[in-house]
C-alpha cells in the first residue's frame, strides 16, 4: 500500500506553511557546536545528523524562565496582575520516541491538583513529530526502561527515515491528523524503503522490578550504597536541566522598588539550597541524598503517584555530566 | 687609557702651560689626553638666567661632539669644567631644554656624558697612590696653598667634585707630590674674575684676601686649577703689596705644572716662564732643581 | 517611575540616569563643598554614600546598570589620603581587575568612570559631573543593557 | 614511562598508602562501565587500587573533591589525590586560601604530556588538535608540588609567547569594537541555563554558600534571562580574578559550550601585567585581589 | 509594612528656592511604607525637632527620613531627636537635598530640583526600610594611662591625669625625667629660671601616689586598642637597686673613671656611675655599662665597695615588664639637628662654635661654668659673640623647610643673658626674619635690641673661620647691602629642632602616622590637635613639631583632659558602624583578615558540645574595627556585612534609583 511521505526537500515548505499559519516550527539545529531544539525559520537550519538534541523540547512547553505576574507598588497597596499565557501553535520536528513519552509525566505533574495553564495551554497546542532512531550511542538506554525506537506514546506524528532520507508519516493522534490535514500540501503518497531502526542493547543486570521493590523497602533508604554510587556528584543541575521529565521550578520576584515581576524559573533538586529550610536545616544535607531523591523521583515517586515514566532512557544526563556519573551504573548496582 | 680631552680657548693661548704640563703629566702617568677632533669655546659663563637657552648652545655643541668620541670627557680649566658639567646636567634632567637645544645644534645628545675634572681623573681613574709612586722630584718642604676658587666647587649639587665647604682633593694631590699643603681660610673664595673688566678694585680686594690669607699661614707657593684665578692673583699682586704693608707676593702656578715638575719632566717644558712671579728661586733654595 | 524619565519629560530631550558611588570622607564632602560654594552642575547624578571606596563591591556597579543606569561613577579619596589609611588602595586593585573585565565584555567605558575627588576638590567634582553627564548624554540611553531582560532565550527566538 | 607503567606505579603507591593507613582514601580516575570514558573514583580499599587509571582522558581536575563542600569525602579521612600539574595549581590556591592544609593531603603528582580537550574527541591517540590551549603552554607537566611524582621527566618547554585558540580569540576580541565584543558575549551568555556546572566543577568556587544562593539581597537574578546570565558570568569571572589557574574545567563542564576560558585567561593576563602575579605556583603569597601596592599603576582613574 | 515619616526641610529659602518641598512631601506620601509626610521651614530648629518627636508619638512612626542638609551637618541632631522620641537613632536617615541638590541647581527649573529631591528621598526611604536598629558599641576601659617621655609635656600630662585620680606610668629613656627643659637656663619671655620652675614639677611627679616612674626604660611593643592596650616596657639595667639606693652619691664621688657628659653636651665630663644632673629625679645613679671597666673587664668596683646600702649589682639585667593601659600619651620631644653638616660654620672644627643648647648650659648656674659665659677653647670670657639663626631651619637645600619657631626667642634671650653677665660684651645676631609672635614676645625681642643693644644683622653668614685666636664670621648685611666680617670670640648656632632618632620606629609600634620629618601627625591639625588616627593614643609637645614651653605644657594638659574624659566612664561608646561575620556561610579563607587595614578580624572557631572544633570562622573585633568595609567587598560569599551600610541597604537604594 502507499504510505504518506514527507520529502526532506519539502520540509522547507512545511516550515513556511506552519509559519504562514502563525505557528512555530521547532527542530534540531546546530548552535555552538551542538544540536539543540530551536525555533527555526528555514530548512537549511535543520540538522539531520544527530542522536538526540542536547536539550529536551520541554522548554517549549515549560520555559526555563517565564513571567507569570507583574506587580507595581503604589502607596501602601500592591497591585498584582497575573499574566495570560498566549500559547502559539508549535510543532516539534525530530523528537525521539523516548523523550516523546516524557510529556505524559510532565502533564501529570502540572495537572494533578492544580491545573497550571502555563503548561497545559502550551501543550494543548503542541504537535510532536517523532523520528524513529537510526542511530544510538553508548548513553542511550531506552530499551532498558522498556521503551524503544518504535515507542509511540506521546508522539502526535511518528516518522521513519527512508533510504532516500525522506520520512514516512504516521499520524497518531487527532492533533497529529489535523496537522497533516492542515499542511496536506507538504505531504505526498508513495512507497518507501525504510532505514533500519537502531535499538540500544538492553543493559544486562538491570532489573526495574528489582529496583522498584528495593526502593520500596524503607530500610534501603539509608543504604550506604547511595553514598558510594554518587560520591563524585558535584551537585550541578545539568542533568536535571537537560532531562525531559525533570520539572521542578521555583517562583521568584524580580524588580525595583517601583515595579516587579513574578517569574517561574527552572529549579533543580541537585542544588544544595533546594530543600534548605528557613531554619538553616536541610533534610538533604549531603549530595548523595539529593541524587537519591532524583533517582527515586524517577523510579518510585512518579511511577507510583502517576503511573507515569520517570526516566525515558534518553541518556542526556549521562552525556552532559561533567564527572560522567552514569545513572545506569546506579540502576545496575541497585538491581543487585 | 685614553680620555677625550677638551682644552678650551685660554689653554691654547695665555694658559698654555696648564695644557702642556697636563698632557706631559698624563703621559708620565700612563694615560693619554685625546684632544677632541673638533671643539669650540664653552661660552665661559654658565647662563645665570636659567631660561637662557642660547647660552647653553655652545657647550651643548661641545658635549654632543665629545659624546661621539667616548663616554667621558676631561678638562682642566675650572670655568670650562663648571660650564660643561652644568650644561650637561641641564640636558640630562630637563627634557624640554634638551629638545630645544638639540633642535638648535641639530644633534641628538641626551646628556649621557660623564664629565671629569683632571683632578678627578687623577683621584678616581689613576689614584693618588699611583701618582705618588710616579713622583721623581718630591716637592719636599714646599709650603703650598691649594687655591680652589669658586668654579671648581659650586654649586655643590651640580659640580660635586668634593665637599664644597671643606674640600681636600687638591691638598691630597699636593701631599702625594711630597709638598706640604697649608690650610687657609680663603681657599674657596672667589678671586673676583667676573668683575675684572668693570670693577678692578673688587678684584684687587678679593684676590688680595686670598693671597694674604694664604701667605698669612706661611704659604710659599699658590697653586690653582683656573686660568682666571692664576691671572687675577698674579696681576693684582703688586697693588696688594702697596695696599697691605707686610704682604709678600708668592708665585701662583697651575697644579699641573708642579705635578709635571714632581713627575720629573723637563722644567723648561712646564711653561713657568709664562708666570709673572718667578718660581725658580723657590725651587732652587728648596733644592728641587 | 524614577525621576529621570520624568525629568526628560520636563527638560525635553533625553536625560541620562547616572549613579555615583562615593566615599563618605572625601568625595561626598567634596560634593557638599560644591554646594556650600554654590557651584552649579548637571542634575542627573544620584549619589550613594559609602564609608570608603574599599566598601564598593563590583556588584553595585552591575546592579546599577541592571536598574537602568546609563552611566556609573565611582569616586573616593586620592591614594594616600584614605580615611581608613588603605581602603582606596584595595579599591584601586579591584577596579583595575573589574575595569578590564567590563571592557572585555564590551561595556562602553565611556559609561563607567572612576575618579579621585578630595574633600577640597569641589571644582573637580563639578567638572567631573558635567563632563560625565554630557558624554553619556551623547551616547544616549544604555539600551544594550536595559534591553537584556526582555530578550527571549536564544532557543525560542 | 608509558601510561601503563605509570598506572602500575600509581596502583602500587595507592595500595601502599592505603595499607599503611597513611591515607584513608585515594581520589583518582577510573573507567566508566563501557571503559570508554574516565570518571572520578574514590578508593578506600587497598584491594581495589587496580581500578585506578591514567591516560589522556583523565581530564577531570579532582582537586574539587578536596573542598569542604564534599563533607562525606572529608568524613572518609586523610585523602591522597592523583593530580596533574595543572590540577596541583588549584590545590596550591586551596592551600593559600586555607581550604586545605598541605599536610592534610597526600599529592600524587602525575607527569603529563597533555590531555584531550573533551573526552568525546578521543579517537585513540593524542594529537595536538584535540588538546586544550592550557596543555600547549603547560609549564607544570612535571608536577611542581607533590609528595610523590609518577612518570619520567617531561622535556617539554612551553613556547615564549603563549599559543593556542584561546589566546588567538582573546587577541581577536581585544581588536574588536566594544559593541562587537558585547554582542559576542551576550550571544554566548544567552545560552546559559544557570545549571552552575561551571561553579560546581571549579575547585576555587569553594564557597559553601555561593552568592547566587544568597537572596537577601538577591544580587544575582536566578532567572536565566540574558541579564541574569550576564551578572552571573561577570561575577563568576570577577571572583576568580587573580585566583583562576586556567584549568579549564568550567568550560569543559558547560553543557551549552560557553567559552569561559576566554574570560578566565583574559583576566589571568590582566593580573599578570598589572600585578605580576601568576596563580597556583606559590602557596605563600596572597592572591592579588586582597592585597595592594601603594604604587599600583593604572591610567583610567581620573 | 513599616511606618515611616518623611520630613522635608525648606531650610528657610535655601532649599525651598530650588525645590518644591511641599510637592516632595506629597509625592513621598505615595511611597510604600510612608505613613506621614510634611515640609517645614527649619527642621533643625527646636520647634522642628519638636514636630518630629510629636509625629513619632502620634503616628507611631518606626522610621524617620529628614530630607534637608548634608548628613554631615545634622544627622546627629535628628538621630538624637528620634532617640528622644523613643525610636532607635539608626532608624533615622537624612537625605541630602541642600548641598547636593538645591544649592547646586539654581540654574535649573524648580521642577528639576524637585524631581531630584524625590529620587534622593525615595532612595533613602528604601534604604531606611532595611536599616536594622543598632546599639552603640560599649568597650570596657582600663583606667590607667601610659605617658611616653618625661619632658615637660609628659610630666604635665602625667600630673594632670594623676590629679584626675587615675593611675599613670611615666616612661623616660634617660636616667632622669626632665627632658630638654632641664638643660635650659632662663626661659623667655619672663626670664625665670628653668630649673626653678621645672624641678618642683619633677619632684611632684616622683612623689605623686598615682604616678609610677619608669626611668631608663623604653617601650618595646604595643598591642590592643583604645581602652585596652597591652604594652611591653624594657627597663634597662641601672646596675643600681632603685628601692634600696638612698641617693647619697658616695659611689659617684669614688668612681675613678670619667667620660663625656651627654647632658652637658660634651662641655664637660661626668663619672661612669652618674646621675645626669644634680637635681635628677629619681636621684638614683646608673652605671654607664659600656664605659665601666668593672662590667667590661671586671676591674675596679669601687662604687660597690663604698655603697652603704649595698645596692650596686654588676650582674643586673634588663627587665621586660608588661602593663595594661586604657590610653597612651606620646610626648617624646625633640633633638637638635647635627651641626656637622654645616661646614661653612665650622662646628666641630672650631672649638668656639657651639649651638644654642650648649650656650644654655654655659648660661645655666648649674652648668659647667657655674653660669659664667666662658668659651670652650680657653675658658676666656668672650668679648663678642655672633649668634647665627636659622641654622638648618627654613633651608630646604641642606636642612629642613620648616621654621624651628623658638630660635628667634631664645637667641634674643641669649643676647640678654650675655649682656647681663658680660658687661661691655657685644653680641651680633644674623637673622632672616625675627619671628616673635606671642604674648609679650615682640616686646621681649625689642628689649634685647634696644636695652641690651644686641646688634641685629639681617642676612646670612657665608663662612666662619679661625684667625689668630679669633673666630672670623663673614656674612652679608642685606639691609645696608654690604659684606661684613666680624672678629668674634665665640659663635652660637641656632640649630634646627628635629624629631628624635627612632621616632619612626616608635610610631610604627604605636600605629600612628608621622610626616616626612618624622614628626607625629595629629588627627586634625585644627580640630583634633592632640589626637592621633589611632583612637586612645594622644600627642603632646615637640614630638609633633617645634613648639615652646607654654605650648608643650598646654598640650600635655590637653592630652590629659582627653584621657580623663575617656576614663570618666567604665565603658566607652562607639558608633556601631562595624563589620559582622555570618558564621554559617564563612569559608574561613581569611581574605578579610588579610585585607583589613586595622587587623580587626581574628580567626575564631565553632565548637560542638564536646568542645571539638567543628569549623573555623572569621570574627570581627568591634573595638578595633573602624567600619571601612574593605572586608565586605573582599568576601566572595558575602559572609561579612557592614552594619549601617549593609548589602541590603545599598541594594535597596540602588533599586529605588
- Residue E3: burial class (beta carbons within 10 Å; 0-12, 13-18, 19+): middle
Q: What's the CA gap between E219 and E206, in Å, rounded?
A: 20
Given a cut of 90, whether residue C71 has pLDDT beyond it is: yes
Buried b (16+ CB within 10 A) or exposed e, B42-62: bbbebbeeeeebebbbbbbbb
Question: Cβ–Cβ of D200/A263 closer than 8 Å?
Answer: no
Q: pLDDT tens across E425-483, in order?
A: 999 999 999 999 999 999 999 999 999 999 999 999 999 999 888 999 999 999 999 98
Q: Counting one residue from A and one from E, how many pairs have CB atoms under 8 Å apart?
A: 24
Q: Could you say which of E584, E588, E652 has the minimum Cβ distance to residue D98? A: E588
Q: How confident is the model at residue C138 (pLDDT cuts 50, 70, 90)?
A: very high
Chain A neighbors (3+ CB pairs < 8 Å): C, D, E
Question: Is D196 part of the contact surface with chain C (CB cutoff 8 Å)?
Answer: no
Q: How confident is the model at residue C153 (pLDDT cuts 50, 70, 90)?
A: low
User: Can you say whether the dihedral through the CA atoms of D214, D218, D221, D222 is positive or negative?
Assistant: positive
Q: How confident is the model at residue D260 (pLDDT cuts 50, 70, 90)?
A: very high
Q: Do the strands D79-84 and D25-31 form a parallel or antiparallel pair, or are they unpaired?
A: parallel
**H helix or E strand, kind and range, residue A180:** helix A174-182
- C-alpha distances out from residue E73 to A274, C33, D99, E95, E134, Å: 48, 12, 46, 11, 21
Q: What's the CA gap between E635 and E581, in Å, rounded?
A: 10
Q: pLDDT tens across A238-290, in order?
A: 999 999 999 999 999 998 888 899 999 999 999 988 988 887 788 898 899 99
CA distance E388 to chain D (A): 42
Name every chain C residue with its beta carbon within 8 A of the beta carbon of D187: 154
CA distance A75 to chain E (A): 4
Chain E interface mutation, best of D69, D93, D98, highest count of E Cβ atoms under 10 Å: D98
Q: How confident is the model at residue B51 (pLDDT cuts 50, 70, 90)?
A: low
| pLDDT computed for residue E226 by the predictor | 87
- CA-based nearest residue in chain C for residue A88: C156
Mean pLDDT within A316-327: 94
Q: pLDDT tens across B73-98, in order?
A: 999 999 999 999 999 999 998 888 89
Mean pLDDT within E266-286: 93
Q: Could you say which of E107, E108, E597 has the minimum Cβ distance to residue C84? A: E597
- CA-based nearest residue in chain C for residue A54: C155
- CA-based nearest residue in chain A for residue E584: A280
CA distance A277 to chain E (A): 14
Torsion angles phi and psi, residue A154, rounded to 5:
90, -25
Question: Is A251 part of the contact surface with chain D (CB cutoff 8 Å)?
Answer: no
Given a cut of 50, whether residue C157 has pLDDT beyond it is: no
Average pLDDT, chain C: 88
> Going by beta carbons, is chain D in contact with chain C, meaning 3 or more pairs sit under 8 Å apart?
yes
| pLDDT computed for residue D188 by the predictor | 94
Given a cut of 50, whether residue D196 has pLDDT beyond it is: yes
> Going by beta carbons, is chain D in contact with chain B, meaning 3 or more pairs sit under 8 Å apart?
no
- CA-based nearest residue in chain C for residue E625: C84
Name every chain E residue with its beta carbon within 8 A of the beta carbon of D211: 636-638
- Residue E1: burial class (beta carbons within 10 Å; 0-12, 13-18, 19+): exposed
Given a cut of 70, whether residue C156 has pLDDT beyond it is: no
Mean pLDDT within E132-150: 93
Q: How confident is the model at residue D184 (pLDDT cuts 50, 70, 90)?
A: very high
Least confident of A53-57, C12-16, E516-520: C12-16
Q: pLDDT tens across E233-246, in order?
A: 999 999 999 989 99
Supply angle C-alpha E457, E459, E462, rounded to 5: 115
Q: pLDDT tens across B11-46, in order?
A: 888 888 899 999 999 999 999 999 999 999 888 777
CA distance C113 to chain D (A): 7
Torsion angles phi and psi, residue D288, rounded to 5:
-65, -20
CA dihedral D128, D134, D137, D142 (to 10 degrees): -100
Q: pLDDT tens across E218-231, in order?
A: 999 988 888 989 99
Question: Is C145 part of the contact surface with chain D (CB cutoff 8 Å)?
Answer: yes
| pLDDT computed for residue E599 by the predictor | 83
Buried b (16+ CB within 10 A) or exposed e, E217-233: bbbeebebbbbbbebeb
Q: Could you say which of E343, E397, E465 has the minimum Cβ distance to residue B163? A: E343
Q: Any residues with CB less than 8 A from the CB of E603 and at least 6 apart, and which?
A: E588, E590, E593, E616, E618, E619
CA distance D64 to chain C (A): 25
Instruction: Answer with the residue of higher pLDDT: E24 or E109.
Output: E24
Within 13 Å, how many C-alpha atoms sit on residue A133's CB side? 26
Question: Is D72 part of the contact surface with chain A (CB cutoff 8 Å)?
Answer: yes
| pLDDT computed for residue C84 by the predictor | 84
Given a cut of 70, whether residue C6 has pLDDT beyond it is: no
Q: pLDDT tens across E57-69, in order?
A: 999 999 999 999 9
Question: Cβ–Cβ of C99/D300 closer than 8 Å?
Answer: yes
CA distance A126 to chain D (A): 23
| pLDDT computed for residue B199 by the predictor | 85
Mean pLDDT within A288-311: 89
- CA-based nearest residue in chain A for residue E31: A75
- Give me the percent of chain E exceeding a pLDDT of 70: 100
- CA-based nearest residue in chain C for residue D291: C90
Question: Is C67 part of the contact surface with chain A (CB cutoff 8 Å)?
Answer: yes
Question: Is D175 part of the contact surface with chain C (CB cutoff 8 Å)?
Answer: no
| pLDDT computed for residue D178 by the predictor | 94
> Going by beta carbons, is chain C in contact with chain B, meaning 3 or more pairs sit under 8 Å apart?
no
Q: Could you say which of E342, E397, E472 has the minimum Cβ distance to residue B185? A: E472
Q: Could you say which of B166, B185, B216 has the minimum Cβ distance to residue E343? A: B166
| pLDDT computed for residue A1 by the predictor | 58
| pLDDT computed for residue C55 by the predictor | 95
CA distance C32 to chain A (A): 27
Mean pLDDT within D208-231: 89
Taking residue C58's Cβ as centre, other Cβ atoms within 10 Å add up to 21
Name every chain A residue with its beta carbon within 8 A of the beta carbon of D36: 138
Q: Among residues E69, E16, E28, which one has the least CA distance to residue E45?
A: E69
Amino acid at each position: 500500500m502507499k504510505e504518506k511521505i514527507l520529502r526532506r526537500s519539502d520540509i522547507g515548505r512545511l516550515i513556511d506553511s506552519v509559519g504562514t499559519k502563525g505557528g512555530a516550527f521547532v527542530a534540531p539545529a546546530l548552535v555552538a557546536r551542538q544540536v539543540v531544539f530551536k525555533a527555526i525559520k528555514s530548512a537549511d537550519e535543520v540538522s539531520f545528523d544527530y542522536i538526540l538534541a542536547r536539550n529536551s523540547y520541554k522548554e517549549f512547553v515549560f520555559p526555563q524562565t517565564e513571567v507569570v505576574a507583574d506587580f507595581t507598588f503604589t502607596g501602601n497597596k500592591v497591585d498584582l496582575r497575573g499574566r495570560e499565557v498566549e500559547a502559539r501553535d508549535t510543532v516539534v520536528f525530530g523528537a525521539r520516541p523516548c523523550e516523546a513519552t516524557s510529556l505524559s509525566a510532565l502533564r501529570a505533574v502540572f495537572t494533578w491538583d492544580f491545573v497550571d495553564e502555563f503548561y497545559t495551554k502550551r501543550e494543548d497546542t503542541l504537535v510532536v513529530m517523532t523520528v524513529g532512531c537510526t542511530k544510538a550511542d553508548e548513553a542511550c538506554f531506552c530499551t532498558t526502561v522498556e521503551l524503544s525506537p518504535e515507542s509511540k506514546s506521546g508522539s502526535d506524528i511518528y516518522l521513519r527515515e527512508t533510504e532516500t532520507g525522506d520520512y514516512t508519516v504516521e499520524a497518531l493522534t487527532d492533533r497529529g491528523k489535523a496537522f497533516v490535514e492542515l499542511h496536506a500540501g507538504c505531504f505526498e503518497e508513495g512507497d518507501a524503503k525504510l532505514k533500519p531502526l537502531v535499538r540500544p542493547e538492553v543493559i544486562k543486570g538491570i532489573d526495574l522490578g528489582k529496583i522498584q521493590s528495593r526502593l520500596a523497602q524503607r530500610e534501603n533508604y539509608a543504604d550506604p550504597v547511595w553514598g558510594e554510587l554518587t560520591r563524585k556528584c558535584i551537585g550541578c543541575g545539568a542533568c536535571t536541566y537537560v532531562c525531559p521529565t525533570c520539572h521542578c521550578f521555583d517562583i521568584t520576584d524580580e524588580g525595583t522598588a517601583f515595579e516587579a515581576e513574578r517569574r517561574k524559573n527552572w529549579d533543580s533538586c541537585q542544588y544544595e539550597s533546594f530543600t534548605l529550610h528557613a531554619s538553616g536545616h536541610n533534610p538533604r544535607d549531603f549530595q548523595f541524598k539529593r541524587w537519591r531523591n532524583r533517582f527515586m523521583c524517577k523510579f518510585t515517586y512518579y511511577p507510583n503517584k502517576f503511573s507515569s515514566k520517570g526516566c525515558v532512557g534518553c541518556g542526556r544526563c549521562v552525556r552532559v555530566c561533567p564527572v560522567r556519573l552514569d545513572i545506569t551504573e546506579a540502576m545496575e548496582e541497585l538491581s543487585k | 687609557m685614553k680620555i677625550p680631552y677638551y682644552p678650551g680657548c685660554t689653554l691654547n693661548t695665555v694658559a698654555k702651560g696648564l695644557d702642556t704640563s697636563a698632557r706631559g703629566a698624563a703621559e708620565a702617568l700612563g694615560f693619554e689626553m685625546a684632544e677632541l677632533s673638533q671643539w669650540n669655546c664653552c661660552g665661559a659663563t654658565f647662563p645665570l638666567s636659567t631660561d637662557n637657552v642660547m647660552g647653553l648652545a655652545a657647550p651643548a655643541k661641545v658635549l654632543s661632539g665629545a659624546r661621539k668620541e667616548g663616554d667621558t670627557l676631561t678638562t682642566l680649566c675650572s670655568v670650562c669644567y663648571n660650564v660643561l658639567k652644568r650644561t650637561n646636567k641641564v640636558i640630562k634632567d630637563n627634557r624640554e631644554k634638551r629638545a630645544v637645544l638639540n633642535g638648535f645644534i641639530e644633534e641628538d645628545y641626551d646628556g649621557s656624558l660623564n664629565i671629569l675634572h683632571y683632578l678627578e681623573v687623577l683621584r678616581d681613574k689613576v689614584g693618588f697612590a699611583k701618582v705618588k709612586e710616579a713622583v721623581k722630584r718630591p716637592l719636599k718642604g714646599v709650603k703650598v696653598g691649594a687655591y680652589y676658587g669658586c668654579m671648581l666647587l659650586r654649586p655643590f649639587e651640580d659640580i660635586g667634585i668634593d665637599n664644597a665647604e671643606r674640600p681636600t682633593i687638591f691638598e691630597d694631590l699636593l701631599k702625594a707630590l711630597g709638598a706640604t699643603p697649608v690650610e687657609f681660610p680663603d681657599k674657596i673664595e672667589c678671586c673676583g674674575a667676573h668683575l675684572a673688566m668693570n670693577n678692578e678694585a673688587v678684584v684687587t680686594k678679593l684676590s688680595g684676601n686670598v693671597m694674604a690669607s694664604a701667605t698669612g699661614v706661611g704659604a710659599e707657593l699658590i697653586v690653582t686649577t683656573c686660568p682666571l684665578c692664576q691671572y687675577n692673583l698674579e696681576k693684582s699682586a703688586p697693588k696688594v703689596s702697596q695696599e697691605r704693608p707686610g704682604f709678600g707676593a708668592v708665585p701662583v702656578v697651575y697644579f699641573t705644572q708642579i705635578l709635571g715638575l714632581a713627575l720629573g719632566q723637563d722644567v723648561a717644558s712646564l711653561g713657568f716662564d709664562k708666570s709673572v712671579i718667578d718660581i725658580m728661586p723657590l725651587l732652587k733654595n728648596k733644592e728641587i732643581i | 517611575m524614577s525621576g529621570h524619565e520624568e525629568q526628560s519629560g520636563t527638560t525635553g530631550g533625553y536625560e541620562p540616569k547616572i549613579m555615583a558611588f562615593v566615599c563618605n570622607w572625601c568625595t561626598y564632602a567634596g560634593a557638599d563643598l560644591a554646594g556650600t560654594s554654590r557651584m552649579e552642575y548637571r542634575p542627573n547624578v544620584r549619589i550613594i554614600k559609602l564609608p570608603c571606596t574599599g566598601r564598593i563591591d563590583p556588584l553595585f556597579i552591575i546592579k546599577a546598570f541592571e536598574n537602568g543606569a546609563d552611566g556609573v561613577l565611582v569616586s573616593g579619596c586620592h591614594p594616600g589620603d584614605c580615611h581608613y589609611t588603605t581602603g582606596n588602595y584595595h579599591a584601586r586593585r579591584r577596579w583595575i581587575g573589574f575595569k578590564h573585565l567590563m571592557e572585555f565584555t564590551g561595556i562602553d567605558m565611556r559609561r563607567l568612570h572612576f575618579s579621585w575627588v578630595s574633600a577640597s576638590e569641589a571644582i573637580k567634582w563639578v567638572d567631573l559631573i558635567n563632563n560625565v553627564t554630557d558624554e553619556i548624554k551623547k551616547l544616549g540611553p544604555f539600551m544594550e543593557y536595559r534591553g537584556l531582560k526582555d530578550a527571549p532565550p536564544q532557543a525560542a527566538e | 614511562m608509558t601510561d601503563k607503567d605509570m598506572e602500575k606505579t600509581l596502583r602500587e603507591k595507592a595500595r601502599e598508602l592505603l595499607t599503611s593507613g597513611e591515607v584513608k582514601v585515594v581520589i583518582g580516575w577510573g573507567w566508566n562501565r563501557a571503559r570508554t570514558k574516565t570518571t572520578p573514583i574514590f578508593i578506600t580499599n587497598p584491594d581495589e587500587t587496580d581500578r585506578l587509571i591514567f591516560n589522556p582522558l583523565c581530564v577531570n581536575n579532582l582537586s574539587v573533591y578536596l573542598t569542604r563542600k564534599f563533607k562525606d569525602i572529608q568524613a572518609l579521612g586523610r585523602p591522597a589525590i592523583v593530580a596533574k600539574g595543572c590540577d596541583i595549581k588549584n590545590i596550591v590556591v586551596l592551600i593559600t586560601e586555607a581550604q586545605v592544609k598541605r599536610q592534610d593531603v597526600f599529592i600524587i603528582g602525575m607527569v603529563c604530556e597533555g590531555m584531550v580537550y573533551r573526552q568525546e574527541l578521543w579517537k585513540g591517540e593524542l594529537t595536538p588538535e584535540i588538546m586544550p590551549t592550557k596543555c600547549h603552554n603547560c609549564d607544570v607537566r612535571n608536577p611542581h608540588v607533590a609528595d610523590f611524582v609518577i612518570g619520567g621527566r617531561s622535556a617539554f618547554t612551553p613556547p615564549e609567547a603563549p599559543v593556542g585558540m584561546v589566546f588567538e580569540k582573546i587577541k581577536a576580541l581585544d581588536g574588536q569594537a566594544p559593541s562587537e565584543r558585547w554582542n559576542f558575549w551576550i550571544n554566548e551568555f544567552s545560552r546559559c541555563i544557570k545549571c552552575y556546572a561551571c561553579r560546581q566543577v571549579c575547585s576555587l568556587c569553594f564557597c559553601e554558600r555561593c552568592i547566587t544562593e544568597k537572596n537577601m539581597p538577591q544580587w544575582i537574578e536566578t532567572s536565566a534571562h540574558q541579564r541574569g546570565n550576564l551578572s552571573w558570568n561577570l561575577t563568576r569571572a570577577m571572583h576568580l580574578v587573580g585566583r583562576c589557574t586556567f584549568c579549564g574545567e568550567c568550560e569543559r563542564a558547560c553543557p551549552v559550550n560557553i567559552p569561559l576560558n576566554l574570560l578566565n585567561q583574559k583576566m589571568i593576563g590582566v593580573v599578570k601585567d598589572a600585578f605580576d602575579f601568576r596563580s597556583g605556583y606559590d602557596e605563600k603569597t596572597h592572591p592579588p585581589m586582597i592585597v595592594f601596592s601603594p604604587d599600583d599603576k593604572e591610567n583610567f582613574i581620573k | 509594612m513599616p511606618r515611616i515619616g518623611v520630613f522635608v526641610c525648606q531650610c528657610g529659602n535655601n532649599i525651598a528656592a530650588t525645590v518644591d518641598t511641599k510637592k516632595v512631601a506629597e509625592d513621598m506620601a505615595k511611597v510604600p511604607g510612608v505613613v506621614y509626610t510634611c515640609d517645614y521651614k527649619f527642621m533643625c530648629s527646636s520647634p522642628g525637632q519638636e514636630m518630629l518627636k510629636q509625629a513619632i508619638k502620634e503616628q507611631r512612626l518606626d522610621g524617620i527620613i529628614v530630607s534637608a542638609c548634608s548628613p554631615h551637618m545634622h544627622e546627629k541632631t535628628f538621630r538624637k531627636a528620634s532617640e528622644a522620641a523613643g525610636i532607635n537613632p539608626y532608624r533615622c536617615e537624612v537625605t541630602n537635598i541642600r548641598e547636593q541638590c538645591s544649592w547646586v541647581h539654581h540654574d535649573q527649573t524648580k521642577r528639576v530640583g524637585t524631581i531630584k529631591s524625590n529620587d534622593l528621598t525615595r532612595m533613602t526611604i528604601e534604604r531606611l526600610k532595611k536599616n536594622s536598629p543598632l546599639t552603640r558599641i560599649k568597650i570596657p576601659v582600663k583606667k590607667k594611662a601610659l605617658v611616653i617621655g618625661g619632658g615637660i609635656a609628659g610630666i604635665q600630662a602625667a600630673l594632670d591625669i594623676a590629679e584626675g585620680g587615675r593611675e599613670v606610668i611615666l616612661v623616660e629613656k634617660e636616667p632622669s625625667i626632665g627632658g630638654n627643659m632641664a638643660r635650659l637656663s632662663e626661659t623667655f619671655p619672663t626670664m625665670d629660671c628653668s630649673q626653678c620652675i621645672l624641678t618642683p614639677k619633677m619632684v611632684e611627679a616622683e612623689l605623686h601616689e598615682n604616678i609610677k616612674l619608669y626611668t631608663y626604660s623604653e617601650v618595646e611593643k604595643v598591642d590592643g586598642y583604645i581602652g585596652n592596650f597591652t604594652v611591653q616596657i624594657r627597663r634597662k639595667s641601672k646596675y643600681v637597686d632603685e628601692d634600696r639606693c638612698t641617693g647619697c652619691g658616695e659611689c659617684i664621688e669614688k668612681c675613678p673613671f670619667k667620660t663625656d657628659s651627654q647632658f652637658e653636651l660634651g662641655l664637660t665630663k661626668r663619672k661612669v656611675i652618674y646621675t645626669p644632673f644634680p637635681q635628677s629625679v629619681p636621684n638614683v645613679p646608673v652605671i654607664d655599662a659600656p664605659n665601666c671597666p668593672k662590667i667590661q673587664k671586671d676591674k675596679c668596683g669601687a662604687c660597690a665597695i663604698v655603697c652603704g646600702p649595698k645596692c650596686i649589682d654588676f650582674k643586673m639585667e634588663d627587665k621586660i615588664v608588661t602593663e595594661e593601659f586604657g590610653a597612651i600619651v606620646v610626648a617624646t620631644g625633640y633633638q637638635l639637628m647635627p651641626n656637622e653638616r654645616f661646614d661653612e660654620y665650622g662646628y666641630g672644627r672650631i672649638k668656639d662654635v657651639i649651638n644654642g643648647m650648649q650656650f644654655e648650659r654655659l648660661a645655666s648656674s648649674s652648668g659647667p661654668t657655674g653660669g659664667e659665659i666662658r668659651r670652650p677653647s680657653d675658658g676666656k670670657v668672650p668679648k663678642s659673640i655672633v649668634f647665627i639663626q636659622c641654622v638648618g631651619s627654613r633651608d630646604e637645600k641642606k636642612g629642613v623647610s620648616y621654621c624651628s619657631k623658638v630660635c628667634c626667642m631664645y637667641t634674643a634671650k641669649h643676647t640678654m643673658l650675655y649682656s647681663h653677665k658680660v658687661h661691655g660684651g657685644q653680641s651680633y645676631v644674623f637673622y632672616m626674619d625675627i619671628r616673635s609672635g606671642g604674648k609679650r614676645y615682640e616686646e621681649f625681642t625689642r628689649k634685647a635690641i634696644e636695652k641690651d643693644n644686641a646688634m641685629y644683622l639681617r642676612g646670612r653668614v657665608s663662612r666662619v673661620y679661625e684667625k689668630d685666636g679669633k673666630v672670623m664670621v663673614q656674612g652679608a648685611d642685606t639691609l645696608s647691602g654690604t659684606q661684613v666680617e666680624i672678629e668674634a670670640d665665640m659663635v652660637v648656632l641656632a640649630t634646627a629642632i628635629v624629631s628624635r632618632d627612632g621616632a619612626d620606629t616608635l610610631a610604627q609600634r604605636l600605629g600612628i602616622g608621622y610626616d616626612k620629618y618624622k614628626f607625629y601627625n595629629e588627627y586634625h591639625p585644627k580640630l583634633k590637635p592632640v589626637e592621633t588616627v589611632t583612637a586612645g593614643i594622644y600627642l603632646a609637645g615637640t614630638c609633633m613639631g617645634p613648639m615652646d614651653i607654654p605650648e608643650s605644657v598646654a598640650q600635655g594638659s590637653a592630652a590629659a583632659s582627653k584621657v580623663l574624659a575617656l576614663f570618666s566612664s567604665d565603658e566607652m561608646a562607639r558608633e556601631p558602624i562595624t563589620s559582622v561575620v555570618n558564621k554559617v556561610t564563612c569559608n574561613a579563607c581569611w581574605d578579610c583578615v588579610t585585607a583589613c587595614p586595622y587587623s580587626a578580624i581574628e580567626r575564631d572557631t565553632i565548637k560542638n558540645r564536646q568542645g571539638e572544633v567543628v569549623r573555623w570562622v572569621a570574627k570581627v573585633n568591634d573595638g578595633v574595627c573602624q567600619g571601612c568595609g574593605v572586608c565586605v567587598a573582599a568576601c566572595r560569599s558575602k559572609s561579612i556585612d557592614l552594619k549601617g551600610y549593609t548589602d541590603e541597604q545599598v541594594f535597596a537604594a540602588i533599586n529605588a534609583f
